Structure 1
Amino acid sequence: MDYPTLAATIDSLTHGETDQIALMATIACEVYHADARFDWVGFYRVTAPETLKIGPYQGGHGCLVIPFSRGVCGACARSRAPQLVADVNAFPDHIACSSSTLSELVLPVFDAKGALIAVFDIDSDQADAFTETDVKELSKILAHVFARS
């Protein structure tokens, strides 16, 4: 994965934009097309207390609503910490939005004031597809882009 090029591309495409939905749509598209490991890429936005709703995303359908109390995305929202899951079938209370998902990476997304606005979810149809490098580099991209929103 060429993270420097991905970061530069996203920075160029989002420069000057502050609308969070536009930013999310652009990031989801660019990340989805950046690596064959990524089967589904998208955001679940905080839309109400303890509630995540889908969108924007790239890939097949996803779950429409995820409570903070359920699944990998909910665990990320509750803890406000990355969730790197090598085997989703071993994760307690995993929500199977797609039966092809074998591993998952979910990152918290904060606005410029430090409020949790979403989680960034990446699913893979490959087992143990994600690394700590993915966590670090994608977290940097998200922090850079959403620091402006």
Structure 2
Amino acid sequence: MSDYALLARQLETLLDTRDWLTNTAQTCAFLMHEIPDLNWAGFYLQRQPGTLILGPFQGLPACNPIPFDKGVCGAAATSRHTQRVADVHAFPGHIACDAASRSELVVPIECGAELWGVLDLDSPQPARFSDADQAGIERLVDVFVAASDLPTPEA
């Protein structure tokens, strides 16, 4: 189990610039290195209404674009609530970018009242993400948002 309080302090130190692009790249690398049993970590950004566009990530090449009505990322974008899926193959509309992925955690990121994007974590392990993982990753997203000057989705 990860020590998310320690990880939050480490991420705060790592994100030493306000640049959102640098911070997304650093956050992805940090998560892949520090969170066990991940096979993909990355951001999808809302750059046009109803669609997520691939941003910085770590892992195999990814699906792009993702409409809001498809997959776990689309569900998180539409609902603006974290989606924690124990078995992605049982999720209606799941987008299979990597057949090895078995579970997924997607945290929406808001900029003011607008959806900015999502942080997507995939694992080859079924039911990889617990309540504690969800709360910890949501805290790490808060650290990322506080450290970054996020452009508005229209930019």
Does TM, normalized by the shorter one, top 0.5? Answer: yes
CA distance in 2, matches of 1:115, 1:102: 30
Q: Which residue of 2 aligns with 1:11?
A: 12
Closer/same/farther in 2, CA of residues 56 and 28 from structure 1, 3 Å limit: same
CA distance in 2, matches of 1:122, 1:65: 17
Aligned identity (percent) is 39
Q: Which residue of 2 aligns with 1:81?
A: 81
Q: Which residue of 2 aligns with 1:132?
A: 131
Please show how residues 46-85 of structure 1 align to structure 2 within 5 Å: 46-85=46-85
1:4: Cα distance to partner? Answer: 2.0
1:95-131 CA deviation, whole Å, 9 max, x = no partner? 00011010000001123x2421110000000100001
* SS class of match (1:137): helix
CA distance in 1, matches of 2:10, 2:29: 11
Letter in 2 for 1:144: V
* SS class of match (1:146): helix
Question: Once superposed, which parts of structure 1, at least 4 consecutive aligned residues long, lie more than 3 Å away?
Answer: none
TM-score (norm 1): 0.93
CA distance in 2, matches of 1:29, 1:128: 22
TM-score (norm 2): 0.90
CA distance in 1, matches of 2:99, 2:138: 26
1:18-62 CA deviation, whole Å, 9 max, x = no partner? 222111111111011112211100000111111101120001111
Stretches of structure 2 that go unaligned for 5 or more consecutive residues are: 150-155
Stretches of structure 1 that go unaligned for 5 or more consecutive residues are: none
CA distance in 2, matches of 1:47, 1:13: 26
CA distance in 1, matches of 2:98, 2:122: 9
CA distance in 2, matches of 1:76, 1:11: 25
Q: Does the aligned pair in 1 maintain the 2:11–2:143 contact within 8 Å?
A: no
Which structure's relative contact order is higher, taking Cα pairs within 8 Å and 6+ residues apart? 2
